[in-house]
Amino acid sequence: MQRETQKAQKRPQNLLLEDRGRLLVSGVTDVDSFDEGAVLLFTDLGALVIRGQELHIDRIDLEVGEVAVTGCITALIYDESRVKGGFLARLLR
């Protein structure tokens, strides 16, 4: 029951980018996919794509809603549609 209450409440969304090499994202609800070139996260504000080079996920804590990514971060892109198939199709073009 407590977990359902947590999901119903929106978490604050924060992005902390340090020197384009370390990113801490809060308010994450799910991690869809990741590789060295892109990380796809879902948040209450929509899907977030992190693009870059040599990306690594250092920490995932979905109970708290935080993800830490390191590497050379070149772009942060939001998509509010939150449609997984449609978003991924556009991402892979």
Q: Give the single-character DSSP code of 91.
A: H
Place of tokens 């869809």: 32
Return d(Cα 28, Cα 25) in angstroms, integer.
Answer: 7
pLDDT of residue 9: 67
pLDDT in tens, 18-31: 999 999 999 999 99
How much is the pTM?
0.76
Amino acid type, 51: R
Return d(Cα 83, Cα 79) in angstroms, integer.
Answer: 9
